[in-house]
Chains A and B, each alone.
Chain A
Amino acid sequence: MSQLTKAPQMDLHPMGQDGILVRFGDGFEVATQPALTAARVIEHARIEGVVEIATALASVLVRFAPDRISRAQLADRLREMLLQPSVDADDGPGRLWTIPAVFDGPQLADVARHAGLTETAAITALTDARLSVLAIGFAPGQPYLGHLPDAWDMPRQTDLTPEVPAGALVTALRQLVLFANPSPTGWRWIGRCAFVPFQPDRPDPFALQAGDCVQFAATDAGTIDQLRRNQPDGLGGATCATLT
């Protein structure tokens, strides 16, 4: 059961001929919790003519079939349901993913120094944190995870790391990104895992959804290498539990 008690600043914007973007804040701040809650409320309403609901860092995109519901009708419904002082949005239990990872990245020491921690304490902080999937993007299935404690509010590095491998864990801005593919990045590379966020031939090709919880379990490099080599489901030893 989640509630929209203090309605945050919310605006509706057109986003293409068949889209409305419900945006929280002024477009310059991250506001994931209201966005996730709003997405659940909209899903629950099962509005006829709505064909897609997607959550980003501070917004929800609602795509509709204009021949089944008009923009004005949909906007009215969205305002009505989202501006109520308190809205029930019991979406059932959430999911907690536990993903084996090794924190041996070349910039772990750098990151620990930024956070004012020893490397061991930094790893403990990384594995103690229960993170949320704040958004998915840039590559199919690729999650933005957060938020880490305040001490992890470090900027992107000024240089671009030319390439980190698939499975790399990188951090900046109290967030972690788990790379789906080899990629350049301006975030600091601190570890890796064998979790493949998007695998087309898997029964559920996109493993994670916005709002899922993720916790990393520290293991050794050999285990991650072995998991990467031998894993038909691409989940890299991750388990998924239902939160009650």
Chain B
Amino acid sequence: MRDADMTILHIDQAGPLMTVQDMGRPGRIGVGLSPGGAMDRAALIEGAALLGLSEVVAGIEMAGLGGTFRTDAPMRFALTGARMDAQIDGQPLRWNASHLLHPGQDLRIGGVQAGAYGYLVPAGGVRGEGVLDSRSAHLSVGLGAPLAAGDTLVIGQDPKRDRPLQIIVPDDRLSGGLLRIMPGPQTQMFDPATRQRLTQITFGRGARSSRTGSPLDYDGHRLGPSGSRGPVSDFIRVGDVQITGDGTPFVMLAECQTVGGYPRIGTVIADDLSRVAQAASGAPLRFEWMTIAQADAAYRSVGQHLREAAAQVRPLVRDPADIPDLLSYQLIDGVTAGDP
């Protein structure tokens, strides 16, 4: 079934790990399903803000490499998250901006220039049949699959199709930085000196990072709990920093398991998880402890985050120097020939 207002997005080429993602399936930890959803949730929120949407919609997450896209009707979209090389019919596109793709044009998104996960967010959102209230692929449990060449996606109706193109300049989250961490149920298993040392080490995102989480590499004396006895298996959540047997911190991300038996030193606050997901290998990551009160004060609902992002977008004003075909523009529209 296809509604007249629906647009079809054709995928002619696809990177190896390109998936549809929204805000995931929260609320199911008790039955063993982690929330999943976009690795960089801020990117979907900024996409919605750029497009003037009142809610976050499902977009395409591109890990490391994008693809080639065509549309059968004019389609507004935003490019957010990891900066990638993008062009429409050979014309380079600004990242962190909204754009318009016409039928007959080719949108090509290449490799990342900074960060790990880029997003293509269509204004109408990726529609179609979801599973358990979400369109997100949750690959670790076999829900959905990566997108492939030849796939088509149904895009919903654009609620603001005449809105001018916009840009946003988000705070940098693509090159590592500070991870604010709050205490959790097992923080006391680590002695004060170890908790202090966590903040003094410069970590790097490990090569085995995936949608389930990121191991953090570091040099020197290994981190570990004070006792030798392992805790009873308990819930583990996105953001928890588990210290595995060899002393490696592992930050749990979107598709993490729901129960774990390794001790957790604390929980990275939600706003800083994008930094973990987007850090290139070699980008420095450091921890800074927050009290519970500070972490709670830093909480933002998705709605609040979207309102804040919407306040930061501004119209894309093109610099004439950036317009290669300046002479073809009707620059004197409305000017009439004067009397001689």
User: Which residues from chain A sit less than 8 Å from chain B, CB to CB?
Assistant: 13-19, 21, 23, 25, 27-30, 51-59, 61, 63, 65-67, 70-71, 135-142, 180-181, 198, 200-201, 205-206, 208-210
Contact = CB atoms under 8 A, between A and B. Distances in A.
Contacts of A17: 182, 267, 269-270, 295-296, 298-299
Contacts of B299: 17-18, 66-67
Interface in B18-43: 26-33
A59 B234 contact: yes
Contact of A27 (B26, B186, B301): B186
Contacts of A205: 132
A141 B141 CA distance: 11
Interface residues of B, number: 42
B27 A14 contact: no
Given A27-B232, A57-B232, A58-B234, A67 B29 contact: no
A54 B29 contact: yes
13 contacts: A16-B240, A17-B296, A28-B229, A52-B30, A56-B234, A58-B232, A61-B237, A66-B301, A135-B233, A136-B32, A138-B258, A198-B31, A198-B33
Interface in B111-143: 131-132, 141-143
B304 interface: yes
B185 A15 contact: yes
A15 B26 contact: no
B235 A21 contact: yes
Nearest to A17: B299
B292 A14 contact: yes
A58 B142 CA distance: 28
Nearest to A25: B232
Given A52-B26, A58-B232, A15 B292 contact: no
B247 interface: no
Contacts of A65: 301
A192 B295 CA distance: 46
A66 B33 CA distance: 22
Contacts of A180: 32
Contacts of A15: 184-185, 235, 237, 267
A14 B270 contact: no
Nearest to B237: A16
Nearest to A29: B232
Interface centre among B32, B240, B296, B304 (most CB of A within 10 A): B32
A137 B232 contact: no
B292 A137 contact: no
Given A17-B298, A27-B186, 19 more contacts: A16-B237, A27-B234, A28-B231, A56-B235, A61-B29, A61-B237, A65-B301, A67-B304, A70-B296, A137-B233, A138-B258, A140-B33, A141-B31, A181-B142, A198-B32, A200-B131, A201-B131, A206-B31, A206-B33
Interface of B: 26-33, 131-132, 141-143, 182-186, 189, 229, 231-235, 237-240, 257-259, 267, 269-270, 292, 295-296, 298-299, 301, 304
Nearest to B292: A14
Contact of B32 (A57, A59, A138): A138
Contacts of B141: 139-140, 198
B225 to A, nearest CB: 11
A73 B285 CA distance: 34
Nearest first, the 7 A-B pairs at minimum CB distance are A54-B30, A137-B259, A13-B185, A206-B31, A140-B33, A17-B299, A140-B32
A72 to B, nearest CB: 9
Contacts of A19: 237
Nearest to B27: A52
B143 A200 contact: yes
Contacts of A25: 232
A69 B223 CA distance: 36
B235 A59 contact: yes
B143 to A, nearest CB: 6
B182 A136 contact: no
B255 to A, nearest CB: 11
A142 B32 contact: yes
B267 A52 contact: no
Nearest to B143: A200
A15 B231 CA distance: 16
B31 A16 contact: no
B208 to A, nearest CB: 17
A174 B184 CA distance: 29
Nearest to B267: A16
A180 B33 CA distance: 12
A71 B182 CA distance: 14
A205 B33 CA distance: 11
A51 B235 CA distance: 16
B27 A51 contact: yes
A23 B239 CA distance: 19
Contacts of A181: 142
Nearest to B269: A17
B233 A56 contact: yes
A139 B238 CA distance: 16
Nearest to B140: A139
